[in-house]
Structure 1
Amino acid sequence: MTKKIAISIPDDVAERLAAEPNVSAFVTESIRQRMVGERTRRTLEQIGFTITDEGLEEAGRKLDQARQAITPELRAKAAALLNEASRGRLQVRD
């Protein structure tokens, strides 16, 4: 079942949605992703994690920094190690 609704959105959001071939599907998927995040956050809080917006922002910054540290050389080295490991040839070094 579906329901048609009318909403008001800022111009920048309207411009972004104008680029979508199926706005309803895009908005639906976006809201569902948000709902999953909310459920995950509630579950983590129920088992004792303290989650704050500031903590999430800090985690996001750290993730961005980690991603920036991944150089093409490091990516190639990781791929080579994964390839060796998948062939059972990886030698563990001390």
Structure 2
Amino acid sequence: MTKRVTVSLPDDVAAYLDQEPNASAAVADALRARMDRASATVEMLRAVGIEVTNADRDRVRGVLPRLSAEQRAEAQRRRDMLREGTWPADDTAAA
């Protein structure tokens, strides 16, 4: 099921979408990634032995700065490794 939604976007984002063969898919992928970010972070922490509680989340929510584009790309690379089962056996983040 789909629903048509109209949004206003900054010029640079709109220009990016103009280059996409399927703008709806690009937007959906980006929003799903944002929706999954918190659970993916918990998965990564759990993979290295850190258990995050609801109290922990409440304590730091809104305190940490937004991630840079480079940090988001690295986080995505690590999430992909976790999902694919390619996280290094020695728990390093593999360069």
Superposition TM-score, scaled by structure 1 size: 0.48
Task: Give the helix-richer structure, 1 or 2.
Answer: 1
* Higher normalized contact order (CA 8 Å, seq sep 6+, divided by chain length): 2
Superposition TM-score, scaled by structure 2 size: 0.47
Bigger Cα Rg? 1
